[in-house]
Structure formats: C-alpha cells, structure tokens
Structure 1
Amino acid sequence: MTGSLPEDVADVLDLVLSPDEPVHVALRRQVPQLRVQSRCKCGCGSAYFELDADAVEPAPTGLGTVVAVDVQLFTETGECPGEVLVFAQGGYLSWLEVCSWNDDVEVNLSTAWRWLQPPS
C-alpha cells in the first residue's frame, strides 16, 4: 500500500481495509500519509499512527474513536486465537491493534497476515 510504513503494517492494512466499503476506501486514501509513531513492546506488532490531518480528508466515521475494522483471525485448523482491530479517531486512522485470546498460539502481524490470506 505504501513504502513509508513498515511492510507488516502496510500488508495487514491492505488486507483488512476493504476496497468495497466506502468508509474503508476513505481510510485507504489516508495510508500513504501514515507514519508509525510507536509500536507495542510485546512483539504483537500493534502500531500507533501519526497523520497530517491537513493532507487528507477524514473518513465518515464520526467524531469520536471508533473501531473501523474488526477481523477475527482463524488458523489453518479453524481455531480463532485473536483478532485485528483498526481504530479511527475523528475520521482519521489512529492505530492498528493485534489482540491475542490464546496463550498457546502466537498472534502477531506476521501470523495475522498469513491467516488473513484468501484460500488458494
């Protein structure tokens, strides 16, 4: 999606922001302007963004903080060990979160990307 974001962040945003949903289309237009401000220290890959709001239009998400994307992750065996969430504040991408629900399965952006791939 963009060369300015770390590859794992760009790849997952590309998979979870649907090109068929109007709010997601507006959020996708913001991605080239995103920069990662910080990352979670636990290794999950969650990323907190900074964005020049004057450079892009807000998505029609409302004024507060909203979950713009909520995608459950499924392993090859059908287990659901976590999810990926994308948050927007005031219509602007704010952070990408990787949540783990299972201590037995490692959940991070790399595994999320693999599990989000369409079946071949």
Structure 2
Amino acid sequence: MNESLPADVADVLAAALNKDTPVHVALRRQIPHLSVRARCTCGCGTAYFELDTSKVDPAPTGPSTVVAAEVQLVTEAGECPGEVLVFAQGGYLSWLEVCSWSDDIQVTLAAARHWMQTCS
C-alpha cells in the first residue's frame, strides 16, 4: 500500500468498495497507487486523491463523475447519522466524502470506519 495513503482512508475505501462487481474490483486495484492530495478542513475526514493513472486501468464507470460506492452509516443504537460516498472521475478514484445527516452525532472518518466495521 502507498504509505502516503493513511490507514483510516484505506480501510474505509476497502469497506466501501467491497462488492465483487467489475467497477469495485477495478477501483480496489487503484488503492495501492493513491495518495491524499487534500482533506476537508472541517474535520469530517473527506479526502481528495491523487492517482498515477499510468499504473492502473480505469474502472468501467464511463467518462463522467459517478458515485462508485455509497454506504449508509448505522450506529450501535440503530441511528443513521450519515453516509460515506466514493467518487470516481473517468474511471479513476477521485475522492471519499464523509457526509453527516444530523447535528446530534458528529460523523468523522474515524466514526465512519468504526460503524462500517461494526455493521459488516
């Protein structure tokens, strides 16, 4: 794995891209070649990627920007405070977004990572 890709980001990407569809398989192959270009400054954990596209093939998502994976987060109490979205542009991983739906529970990448592991 690329050392510039933090473990929390890699874990959440792997959990979100866990289906054996051609798109998810191709996007998982890109993870070792990713690095984080920037992160959201609000603390949510959203990460924007840089990828050497010469080292990997694009996923069959088409030329536009698509939501390649969407995972609703569920707490141990059964609440749904948000979701994780994985975006691809032109078949390449582009960014990971951590979305909050509630003001009652703070949704961060660490919380998303925990809830994704708890529910899988």
TM interval, short-chain normalised = over 0.9
**Aligned-residue CA RMSD in angstroms?**
1.5
Change (3 A) 1:114 1:5: same
Quick one: distance in 2 between partners of 1:104 and 1:69? 25
Q: How many residues align?
A: 120
Quick check: 2:50–2:94 contact (8 Å CA) kept in 1? yes
The Cα shift of 1:8 comes to 1.0
With the length of structure 1 as denominator, give the TM-score of the two structures. Answer: 0.94
Higher relative helix content: 2
Percent identity of paired positions between Structure 1 and Structure 2: 69
Cα deviation 1:24-73 (Å, max 9, x = unaligned): 01000001110100000000000000111111100000100000001100
* 4+ long deviations beyond 4 Å: none
Q: Which consecutive unaligned segments of at least 5 residues does structure 2 have?
A: none
Q: Which consecutive unaligned segments of at least 5 residues does structure 1 have?
A: none
Structure-2 residue corresponding to 1:11 = 11
Letter in 1 for 2:111: T
Matches within 5 A, 1:89-104: 89-104=89-104
With the length of structure 2 as denominator, give the TM-score of the two structures. Answer: 0.94
Structure-2 residue corresponding to 1:22 = 22
Structure-2 residue corresponding to 1:38 = 38
